[in-house]
Amino acid sequence: FSRGLAEVLPIEALCLFTPHELEVLICGEAEIDIKLLQQATVYEDVDPNAPHVQYFWQALEEMTQEQLARFINFVCARSRLPSSVDKFPMSFKIQSAGSVKEGQDDMALPKSQTCFFSLALPKYSSKEICLSKLLYAADNCNTMEDYDEHEAGAFA
């Protein structure tokens, strides 16, 4: 580990940081800050004041830190956020779910594109439905971490 780290950071510089500071620099904050995520969010083909978008933010507020980490993993294949808005490599994008049939939004699951840090959010009719669908998707999705080396060969 230290040899690899020494390739990108002078080992002598490590003494400048506490273990916690170094962890935050490398991994990001362990606690998911929803307000920070909101600041880093852009909206595509969806009104940020629309009821289903407000249900989304309310649903996140009800999640535990463990559930939030799984949600973040669902949308960006990481379990932590950067420590500030300026350190996000790209904005979090909330998009219209698009092709959901009229009146079927409450049956649809949200979809994510981890490479683009985006979420296609159906027009859920309540915070409770939104929360349940977000948790189901986050708990049952396959991410890059779910593939072993043999399965990864299929992507080469």
CA–CA distance, 112 with 134 (Å, rounded to integer): 11
pLDDT in the model for residue 72: 95
- At 76-129, the pLDDT tens digits run 998 889 888 998 999 999 999 987 787 899 999 999 999 999 999 999 999 999
The verdict on whether 115 is a catalytic residue reads yes
Active site residue: 76, 115, 130, 141, which one?
115
Nearest to 76 by CA among 29, 114, 42, 35: 114
Look at residue 27 in the predicted model and tell me its pLDDT. Answer: 73
CA distance 103 to 91: 30
**Token couple for 96:** 């219209």
Q: Residues 130-143: what's their mean pLDDT?
A: 91
Q: DSSP for the chain, please give it.
A: -HHHHHHHS-GGGGGGS-HHHHHHHHH-BSS--HHHHHHTEEEESS-TTSHHHHHHHHHHHHS-HHHHHHHHHHHHS-SSB-SSGGG-SS-EEEEE--SPPTT-GGGPPPEEEGGGTEEEE---SSHHHHHHHHHHHHHH---GGG--HHHHGGG-
Give the whole-angstrom CA distance, residue 63 versus residue 134: 10
What are the C-alpha distances in Å from 131 to residues 3, 21, 80? 43, 33, 20
CA gap 93, 118 in Å, rounded: 4
**pLDDT over threshold 80, residue 67:** yes
Q: Indicate the residue type of 49.
A: N
The Cα 42–Cα 144 span in angstroms is 24
14 versus 35: the higher-pLDDT residue is 35
